[in-house]
Structure 1
Amino acid sequence: MKRSILETLNLARTNRRAAVTVSHLAQASTEVFVEGDDCPEPLRPLVVRALQSGRAGLVETEAGPLFVNAYLPPPRIVVIGAVHISQALALMSPVAGFDITIIDPRTAFATGERFSGVDLIAEWPEDALKLRPLDRFTALAAVTHDPKIDDDALKAALVAGCFYVGALGSRKTHAKRLDRLRQAGLSDAQTGRIQAPIGLDIGASNPAEIAVAILAEIVGELRRRDVGPLEGSAP
Structure 2
Amino acid sequence: MRLDLLQALNRARADRHAAVLVTDLDGGEARLVTEATLAGDPLEEPIRAALRTGRSGVVEGTRAFLTVQVPPAKMVIVGAVHISQALVPMAKMLGYDPVIVDPRTAFATPERFPDVTLLAEWPDEALPKLKVDRFTAFIALTHDPKIDDPALLHAFERGCFYIGALGSRKTHAKRVERLTGKGASPEAVARIKAPIGLAIGAISPAEIAVSILAEVTQAWRQGIA
TM score, norm. by length of structure 1:
0.93
Structure 2 residue aligned with 1:141, among 139, 142, 151?
139
**Structure 1 residue 142, shift from structure 2 partner:** 0.2
- Structure 2 Cα separation of the partners of residues 91 and 60 of structure 1: 37
**How many residues are aligned here?**
225
- Structure 2 Cα separation of the partners of residues 25 and 15 of structure 1: 28
Alignment of 1:120-131 (within 5 A): 120-131=118-129
Structure 2 residue aligned with 1:83, among 81, 84, 89?
81
User: Are residues 1:186 and 2:184 paired?
Assistant: yes
Contact 2:55 2:68 in 1 (8 A): yes
Unaligned runs of 5+ in 2: none
- Structure 2 Cα separation of the partners of residues 37 and 152 of structure 1: 33
Unaligned runs of 5+ in 1: 228-235
Structure 2 residue aligned with 1:214, among 197, 212, 215?
212
- Structure 2 Cα separation of the partners of residues 9 and 184 of structure 1: 39
Q: How many percent of aligned residue pairs carry the same amino acid?
A: 52
Contact 1:139 1:164 in 2 (8 A): yes
**Structure 1 residue 60, shift from structure 2 partner:** 3.7
- After TM superposition, the runs of 4+ consecutive aligned structure 1 residues lying more than 3 A away are 38-41
Higher relative contact order, chain-length normalized (CA < 8 Å, sep 6+): 1
Offset from partner CA, 1:39-63 (integer Å, 9 cap, x none): 54421112111122111111243xx
Q: Which moved more, 1:157-166 or 1:22-31?
A: 22-31
- Structure 1 Cα separation of the partners of residues 216 and 224 of structure 2: 14
**Structure 1 residue 199, shift from structure 2 partner:** 0.3
Which secondary structure does the structure 2 equivalent of 1:29 belong to? coil
Supply the AA of the counterpart residue of 1:73.
P
**Structure 1 residue 38, shift from structure 2 partner:** 4.3
RMSD between aligned residues: 1.2
Alignment of 1:90-101 (within 5 A): 90-101=88-99
Name whichever structure is richer in helix by fraction: 2
- Structure 2 Cα separation of the partners of residues 22 and 39 of structure 1: 15
Supply the AA of the counterpart residue of 2:155.
A
- Structure 1 Cα separation of the partners of residues 181 and 37 of structure 2: 34
Contact 2:20 2:47 in 1 (8 A): yes
Which secondary structure does the structure 2 equivalent of 1:162 belong to? coil
> In the alignment, what sits opposite 1:42?
42
Contact 1:35 1:51 in 2 (8 A): no
> In the alignment, what sits opposite 1:203?
201
Structure 1 pair 196/102, CA: closer, same or farther in 2 (3 Å)? same
> In the alignment, what sits opposite 1:67?
65
Structure 1 pair 60/205, CA: closer, same or farther in 2 (3 Å)? closer
Structure 1 residue aligned with 2:173, among 175, 186, 189?
175
- Structure 1 Cα separation of the partners of residues 94 and 189 of structure 2: 27
Contact 1:167 1:194 in 2 (8 A): yes
Which secondary structure does the structure 2 equivalent of 1:217 belong to? helix
> In the alignment, what sits opposite 1:15?
15
User: Are residues 1:223 and 2:221 paired?
Assistant: yes
Structure 1 pair 60/212, CA: closer, same or farther in 2 (3 Å)? closer
Supply the AA of the counterpart residue of 1:81.
G
TM score, norm. by length of structure 2:
0.97
Which secondary structure does the structure 2 equivalent of 1:134 belong to? coil
